[in-house]
Amino acid sequence: MPIYAVFTNEQLAEIARRRVDTLTALGAIDGIGPARLERYGAAVLSIVETTPLDGAVE
């Protein structure tokens, strides 16, 4: 499933801007609730952790 089908563009922008590194920080973004955290949280944190600050995805 494409990430844009799970989170809104605004949520994705906030994830990138804040560089969230915990489930608590991810859950603090408006509209991201417990169900999304449980289902997608670990994957999102992994993507943020492994994406360089310049935004280039290898």
| Tens digits of residue pLDDT in 28-57 | 999 999 999 999 999 999 999 998 887 555
Domain extent, residue 43, equals: 6-50
* Residue 39 included in any domain: yes
Q: Is residue 28 part of a domain?
A: yes
Is residue 27 a part of any domain in this protein? yes
Number of domains in the chain: 1
Q: What is the mean pLDDT of residues 10-21?
A: 94
43 in a structural domain? yes
Residue 56: inside a domain: no
Q: Is residue 58 part of a domain?
A: no
Q: Sorting pLDDT into bands at 50, 70 and 90, what band is 1? A: low
Residues counted in the chain: 58
pLDDT at 3 > cutoff 90: no
Radius of gyration from C-alpha coordinates of the chain: 11
Q: Could you tell me if residue 42 is inside a domain?
A: yes
Is 57 within the bounds of a domain? no
